[in-house]
Structure 1
Amino acid sequence: MTEYLDVIMFAALMVAILSGFPVSFSIAGIGIAFAYLGWALGVMDITLLGAMGQRVFGLLSNQVLIAIPLFVLMGALLEKSRIAEDLLDTMGRLFGQVRGGLGISVVLVGALLAASTGIVGATVVAMGMIALPTMLRAGYDPRVASGIVCTAGTLGQIIPPSTLLIILADVMSNAYQQAQYEQGKFSVEALSVGQFFAAAILPGLLLVCLYLIYILARGVLRPADMPPAPPGLAKPDRAEVIRAVIPPILLIFAVLGAILGGIATPTEAASVGAVGALLMAGVRFGMNRKMILLGAVALVALGILAGLFPVRLQRDDLGLGSYLAGAGYIMLAIGGIVAVVLALKSAIRGRIIQDALNSTLTMTAMIFATILSAGIFSLVFIGLGGEERVARLLEDMPGGATGALIFSMIFIFILGFFLDFVEISVILLPLVTPTLIVMGHDPIWLGVLIAINLQTSFLTPPFGFSLFYLRGAAPPEITTGHIYAGVVPFIGLQIVGVVLIWIFPALAIWLPRAIF
């Protein structure tokens, strides 16, 4: 029995999580219990837990993971200021008269919100409360409407910036370095969040295209499932569309453009995104909208001009032009600071900032507590010989490297029925990905395949998070059966997306290689 203690430990973790006990306490508790059990049975060196302090310090000092609360704050500000609701309403009225048009608008809005917020829960709830009743009034099949809303909301996990990609970039970078050590390379390369953001853009757009093709095809083949919106739905004018669409697009360009262009690190770009979301909320609800808007323009101008014509005032060989440029930059910075203060004042008055900070702290605490407790679990699992067992299992798979990857993808998919993406990322992936990389799989391509697989875990019953989010926000006539049945075709489309990226790896690796 002692030789299978690692397997029993993993099974005990499944039972503890499914029991409903808080996840982070379940993971840490199982780890500590099996550490002492293994020590008592003489199959584990308990001093291995001494490395936990180093792991905690490494997590708290990890520059990559600092971006998570900033990106979450950016999305929370956009959600609480109801900018997402305006976008959804406008796009719904724009495409409503097309057969399947409301479904198309939901997917497009999901993609825009994914690239500007990255928060699945907020997106699904917003669309469940706004778009779903409209789709039902238009005569949409409840299953089709539920499936579209659930799936469009999960795009925030694959389209950057997303917390999944940030966590995955950290895990895959560590796995890649470990694989290089095992191959005898001691001058190792690291992977960055920017590379994974670049790698996920085309696959994310591929999934959007697959969803749109499915909706259009179903609208033609089964028109009764997705009729046009009622004629009374007023079509928005051009100015209304611009007001709803342009701000999120500008925010996307500011954040992703800064990262992919090498101008800013993900953490710096996340702070830019949070400030941008605050300014957008201020323009929407503030008393001094023109001043906030002018300050936002001043900050954009400062970023562009300072990048093109940098001035370092501490040097003693500057000419008059440099001093004038420096004075101009200072004035632009002051204008930007005034705008941020006014926007912050408006957000506090409207309780936007309080609610956004509460959401941010809750989600950040959940993610970091899970990562910390997973560190305890993985240490004990390694001490019980679990890492060697997983490596042997993958190496002995028929089909070599391809067989090992197919087994891993199926295993991750099955775990997605029961576990959250954070738990799978920080518990399972550090065990399987180093071996898969040693077998010859490209780490970035592998990371994108796993990211889409983990995104699917939001849709798979019985514990898919999107299903729970929609169940809480959906009208009473939408049943749990409708939601479960509605996501099945989209789970199939997710699998099609994985197969296409497997067949055409350039979809994942071309852009990061071209940029980096």
Structure 2
Amino acid sequence: MTEAMPLILFITVFGLLLLGYPVAFTLGGVSLFFGLATFGLDFFNLLPLRIWGRITNVVLIAVPLFVYMGVMLEKSGLAEELLETMALLFGKLRGGLAISVVVVGALLAASTGIVGATVVTMGLLSLPTMLKRNYSPELATGTISASGTLGQIIPPSIVLVLLGSILNVDIGSMFIGAVVPGLMLVVLYIVYIVGMAIFKPESCPAMPKEELDAFRKEGMYKRIITAFLLPFLLILAVLGSIFAGIASPTEAAAVGAFFATVLTAAKGKFNYNTLKSVMIETTYLTCMVFILLVGATAFGLVFRGMGGDTYIRDLVIGANLSKGMFTFLVMFVVFIAGFFIDFIEITFILVPVVAPIFEHFGVDLLWLGILFAVNLQTSFLTPPFGFSLFYLKGVAPPEVTTMHIYKGIIPYIIIQLIVLAMVAFWPESVLWLPKIISY
């Protein structure tokens, strides 16, 4: 019975989450109960020290700073300018509007990294335009939903910071390692859209020539420079300083937060109400992450204290699972879990449990972290609880149904799984760039 206690703890937590109980309090509350039952009152001597050690991790200061940067940029109007300019640049091509959404999604991912803000902004601005230009609702909604999730894998990304912290991998290396998989996703998204333009041209027509001519007459080059220069400088300041080894991710996050404020002020959007709104939202999101971290720390302490990591390792070794089979099994569980629970919950519950087993197998933890990040990206698209789907449905016109969105995201989920397989079978896609930069 004692040997099975870690498994009972894990099943209890997972079962309560599926029933809809709050994640942080489920993790913390169940862990307290099992901790007291197993260790007695001595458990309260261990828990505060473990929580204090986790939340005083300097790397995690990057979380509120990156959140602040993303929320502030959302208020700056950057996304609107990018979308309008890119749409007209690619407008003469069939599928040009959809391609522009993917490119802007990638640029916003490298600038803000906040999925909800990106999907809502692109849904409000691009979806009505795409429908007006007779795009199929499935292609339009699928492209917007999937492009919004690029912020999960393209650095700077909150999930990369959290995974790096849990796996004890340098955050800068995580950022560099995620560049190639992120670009692979962008390229395959565009290839899919081009394929649709060739084989189903009625689903993604070009923009009328009159609109494009009007755009060119209104100072096209000035608009292009204005729209691209500021976000490029921000990306250069944040990612460039990390990749060049000038600043740590935490320091670069502070630079990004300051630069985002300056950029918003330069666009005339910075005032007391904007700052207040950004601070409130940043505090809310940061508190959510850190209270989850506290609950996950309690869960990890109890699970390991019960010998849960040893129990699962012995279970895997006893089942004669190879490294490849175990990796496939874990990735499959993460993918299925993404249908029901949030990426942060999966990160804090599953990753600490399986990480010691991967270490036992001698797996490179940087590669493992990016593999998890690519897989966790699918959780934003998989129904019934994919957050991108909720965000888009909330701002979509009435004629766009939930079924349109569900059908639209299927090809993009398949693309994400293809990239996951490519990263799994080709580890150098993650590891070669950090080696070249010698971070």
TM-score category by the smaller chain?
Answer: over 0.9
Superposition pairs of residues 437-476 of structure 1, within 5 angstroms: 437-476=359-398
- Determine the structure 2 residue equivalent to 1:22: 22
Superposition pairs of residues 349-360 of structure 1, within 5 angstroms: 349=272, 351-360=273-282
Task: Name the aligned partner's letter for residue 97 of structure 1.
Answer: K
* Alignment partner of 1:245 is 2:228: yes
**Unaligned stretches of 5+ residues in structure 2:** none
- Determine the structure 2 residue equivalent to 1:128: 123
How far did 1:14 drift?
2.7
For residues 183-219 of structure 1, give each alpha carbon's deviation from its aligned partner in whole angstroms, at most 9, with x where no partner exists: xxxxxxxx31111101001111111001111111111
Cα separation, 1, equivalents of 2:167 and 2:301: 18
Cα separation, 2, equivalents of 1:436 and 1:397: 15
Contact kept in structure 1, 2:76 and 2:264, CA below 8 Å: yes
How far did 1:23 drift?
2.0
Cα separation, 2, equivalents of 1:17 and 1:273: 35
SS at match of 2:178: helix
Cα separation, 1, equivalents of 2:316 and 2:199: 43
Task: Name the aligned partner's letter for residue 6 of structure 1.
Answer: P
Cα separation, 2, equivalents of 1:421 and 1:278: 28
How far did 1:398 drift?
4.5
- Determine the structure 2 residue equivalent to 1:315: none
Cα separation, 1, equivalents of 2:205 and 2:366: 41
Contact kept in structure 2, 1:81 and 1:352, CA below 8 Å: no
How far did 1:46 drift?
5.5
For residues 98-134 of structure 1, give each alpha carbon's deviation from its aligned partner in whole angstroms, at most 9, with x where no partner exists: 1111110000000000000011110011011111111
Range with bigger deviation, 116-125 or 408-417: 408-417
- Determine the structure 1 residue equivalent to 2:267: 284
SS at match of 1:149: helix
Runs of 4+ in structure 1 over 4 Å off: none
* Alignment partner of 1:89 is 2:84: yes
Task: Name the aligned partner's letter for residue 245 of structure 2.
Answer: G
Q: CA RMSD in A?
A: 1.7
* Alignment partner of 1:260 is 2:255: no
Cα separation, 1, equivalents of 2:21 and 2:84: 39
* Alignment partner of 1:514 is 2:403: no
- Determine the structure 1 residue equivalent to 2:159: 164
Contact kept in structure 1, 2:13 and 2:27, CA below 8 Å: yes
- Determine the structure 2 residue equivalent to 1:51: 46
How far did 1:353 drift?
1.4
- Determine the structure 2 residue equivalent to 1:151: 146
Cα separation, 1, equivalents of 2:340 and 2:13: 11
SS at match of 1:475: coil
SS at match of 1:233: helix
Cα separation, 1, equivalents of 2:125 and 2:32: 45
How far did 1:512 drift?
0.8
Cα separation, 1, equivalents of 2:23 and 2:367: 30
SS at match of 2:421: helix
SS at match of 2:339: coil
Which of these residues, 288, 293, 303, is aligned with residue 371 of structure 1? 293
**Unaligned stretches of 5+ residues in structure 1:** 174-190, 286-345
Q: Which has the larger radius of gyration?
A: 1
Range with bigger deviation, 230-239 or 256-265: 230-239
SS at match of 1:440: coil
* Alignment partner of 1:347 is 2:270: yes
For residues 122-151 of structure 1, give each alpha carbon's deviation from its aligned partner in whole angstroms, at most 9, with x where no partner exists: 001101111111111111111111111111
How far did 1:395 drift?
2.5
How far did 1:378 drift?
2.0
* Number of aligned positions between the proteins: 433
Which of these residues, 410, 420, 433, is aligned with residue 488 of structure 1? 410
Task: Name the aligned partner's letter for residue 458 of structure 1.
Answer: F
Task: Name the aligned partner's letter for residue 260 of structure 1.
Answer: F
- Determine the structure 2 residue equivalent to 1:194: 172
Superposition pairs of residues 319-338 of structure 1, within 5 angstroms: none
Cα separation, 2, equivalents of 1:512 and 1:264: 16
Contact kept in structure 1, 2:51 and 2:298, CA below 8 Å: no
- Determine the structure 2 residue equivalent to 1:117: 112
- Determine the structure 1 residue equivalent to 2:6: 6
Task: Name the aligned partner's letter for residue 491 of structure 1.
Answer: I
- Residues 514 and 463 of structure 1: CA distance in aligned 2, closer, same or farther (over 3 Å): same
Cα separation, 2, equivalents of 1:32 and 1:204: 39
- Determine the structure 1 residue equivalent to 2:32: 32
Contact kept in structure 2, 1:371 and 1:422, CA below 8 Å: no
Contact kept in structure 1, 2:309 and 2:357, CA below 8 Å: no
How far did 1:232 drift?
4.6
Contact kept in structure 2, 1:48 and 1:379, CA below 8 Å: no
For residues 297-323 of structure 1, give each alpha carbon's deviation from its aligned partner in whole angstroms, at most 9, with x where no partner exists: xxxxxxxxxxxxxxxxxxxxxxxxxxx
Contact kept in structure 2, 1:251 and 1:276, CA below 8 Å: yes
How far did 1:463 drift?
1.2
Which of these residues, 269, 284, 288, is aligned with residue 362 of structure 1? 284
- Determine the structure 2 residue equivalent to 1:402: 324
TM-score, normalised with respect to structure 1:
0.81
* Alignment partner of 1:220 is 2:215: no
SS at match of 1:21: coil
TM-score, normalised with respect to structure 2:
0.94
For residues 75-120 of structure 1, give each alpha carbon's deviation from its aligned partner in whole angstroms, at most 9, with x where no partner exists: 1111012111211121112212211111100000000000000111
Cα separation, 1, equivalents of 2:21 and 2:425: 41
Which of these residues, 400, 425, 431, is aligned with residue 353 of structure 2? 431
- Residues 382 and 492 of structure 1: CA distance in aligned 2, closer, same or farther (over 3 Å): same
* Alignment partner of 1:416 is 2:411: no
